[in-house]
Amino acid sequence: MSKRKILMSLAATFLLSTAALAEGPKAGGVVNAVIQPEPPSLMVGLVQNGPTQMVAGNIYEGLLRYSPKLDPLPGLAESWTVSADGKTYTFKLVKGATWHDGKPFTSADVLFSIEFLKQTHARARGNLVQLDKVEAPDESTVVFTLKQPFGPFIGIFEVGSLPMVPKHIYDGTDFKTNPANNTPVGTGPFMFKEWQKGSFIKLVKNPNYHVKGKPNIDEIYWHVIPDAAARSVAYETGKVDVLPGGSVENFDVPRLSKLKNTCVTGAGWEFFSPHSWLWLNNRSGPTANKKFRQALMFAIDRNMAKDVVWNGLGKVATGPSGSTIKYYTGAVPTYDYDPAKAKALLKEAGYNGEKLRMLPLPYGETWQRWAEMVRQNLQDVGINVEMVATDVPGWNQKVSEWDYDIAFTYLYQYGDPALGVGRNYISSQIAKGSPFNNVEGYSNPEIDKLFAEGAVAFPDAARGEIYAKAQKILVEDVPVAWMLELQFPTITRCSVKNLITTGIGVNDGFRDAWIEK
């Protein structure tokens, strides 16, 4: 109980201090935001596309939310305890939460959601491997029992990773063809109202939301605008108020930031922390040679890429973990831009001018320019690079089938090395057919052992040591060439207040946002 008292007094001080600075949140208003590309569905338990998560984060909820420091916050669970041995997690659910159709949200829904997501949600399936059983002793209590302590477990309850789905709608039906998929029903602050394909998605305020006094905003329109330049114009002409991260080309960001009444923030990506790197094919060709891979790291001017291609946004990556996620260490070998050293290493590696196929990421102009810049860097030290043009499906196939030498990518890290980092380096993840595993084909028994131990080590301090060691080894081996910790700035009218309050940013919904009139 003392924990809750502290929380409450903290909340009180926060409220008082904001009240002193400005008048409190105002109710009412409409927000126009951009969604890109158009989501295929809003049923986030079945479909986990980026745009789906962004809109559905308003409709559905997870048991927990996460602060920018990735500490768990109450969501559909109002409190939780972890047993001393790290194996039992007990969640108390909020009282009075209901689904949008009026049915109460209970522990039975949680049990059902776990079974549902194990069948439909690739990432949840992976996150739940250590789960032994889950039980509901009463309507508002859920107990998760693990096979062994699993440090990242407390980090898997966010709405995109483990959304709660309504049992009374899906139980006993074919999940994928349930007609309710087109009219999603969640517990979240906003309810689905209308979707005109190709034009907009409309959400309206949930009047019975379980957090009293929220949400403040009445309606949200998500506009589908396929062209990046047209999205900038829609903002410039005042037709939309919110451009979520990544919705305009990076080179438009400085211009838009200078517009009147415009606020820009890089916050809200702490949980995902998109980490970009070049996949180097470790199986064959020059990139199979460790010295050659190190040479690549020295040859690429990553600071310049950050400043020129990304307008100074983001951070040069030091290794496999981003600096915002748990157990990051900067105490690793460094690779500063040094073409002379790169040339020397190429000579040592015995590189004799073989042609390397490089795949840019087909996600728009910014990525194309970045690839051109890297090609220039590599040509400068004498590496023969050929650019391979693809569209998105082609890229997915080439990467999944290991048909490349160097390929651009970026992946989310989900706050913990066990959730979003290890998958790219452990050898059990080498499998053809998916672009989200160990595509480079790196295999090192020591790394396999460290990541296996790190996931289940207990207590957390022990995990830190293990991951520090793993990061050091990986940076020495350069299985992939780490580039940048990306930052996708969110651009809004300054009158839209309190939009980003947690580590998952806009994906956490407009629950706390309000509009200053």
Partner 1 sequence: MISFIAQRIAKAIVVLLALIVLNFFLIRLAPGDPALVMAGEAGAGDQIFLAQLREKFGLDQPLPVQLFLYVKGILSLDLGFSFRQQMPVATLILQRLPATLLLTGTAFAISLLFGILFGALAARFAGTWADTTITVLALIFYATPLFWVALMAILLFSVAMDWLPSFGYETVGANYTGLAHVLDVAAHLVLPATTIGLFFMATYARMTRASMLEVNRLDFVKTARAKGLSNSVIQRRHVLRNALLPVVTLAGLQAGTLVGGAVLTETVFAWPGIGRLMYEALLQRDYNLLLGVFVVCSAMVLAFNLITDLVYRSVDPRIEFAS
Q: What does the binding site for partner 1 look like in residue numbers (CB under 8 A)?
A: 30, 32, 37-38, 40-41, 47-51, 122-123, 125-126, 176, 181-182, 196-200, 202, 219, 221, 223-227, 229-230, 233-234, 236-237, 239, 390-398, 400, 411-412, 431, 433-437
Residue in the structure block whose two tokens are 């919904």: 509
Q: Residue 497 Cβ, how far from partner 1 at the closest point, in Å?
A: 21
Closest CB to partner 1 among 28 and 330? 28
Helix (H) or strand (E) holding 409: strand 406-411
**Which of 331, 392 has the CB closer to partner 1?**
392
Closest CB 180 distance from partner 1, rounded Å: 12
The residues near 22 (Cβ < 8 Å, ≥ 6 apart) are none
Rounded least distance, CB 370 to partner 1, Å:
19
Record the tokens describing residue 276, joined without a space: 């970009």
Minimum CB separation of residue 203 from partner 1 in Å reads: 12
Helix residue ranges per DSSP H, 157-267: 167-170, 228-236, 253-257
Residue 37 or 137 having the CB closest to partner 1 = 37
CB of 290 to partner 1, least distance (A): 29
Residue 322 CA to residue 488 CA, distance in Å, equals 15
Q: Which is nearer to partner 1, 384 or 428 (CB)?
A: 428
CB of 213 to partner 1, least distance (A): 24
Q: Which is nearer to partner 1, 38 or 109 (CB)?
A: 38
CA distance linking residue 43 with residue 294, whole number of Å: 44
Smallest gap, in angstroms, from Cβ of residue 398 to partner 1?
A: 7
Taking the least distance from each CB to partner 1, the nearer of 172 and 393 is 393
Report the residue number, 86 or 274, with the smaller CB distance to partner 1.
274
Element housing 448 (H / E) = helix 445-456
Pairing of strands 406-411, 355-359: parallel
The structure tokens listed for 352 are 């004799």
Is the bond leading into 37 cis (omega within 30 degrees of zero)? yes
Residue 198 C-alpha from the chain's centroid: 25
Please, what is the minimum distance in Å from the beta carbon of residue 168 to partner 1? 21
Sign of CA dihedral 493, 498, 499, 503: positive
Answer whether 364's CB lies under 8 Å from 228's CB.
Answer: yes
User: How buried is 184 (Cβ within 10 angstroms: 0-12 exposed, 13-18 middle, 19+ buried)?
Assistant: buried
- Which of 205/302 has CB closer to partner 1? 205
Is residue 215 within 8 Å of residue 209, measured between CB atoms? yes
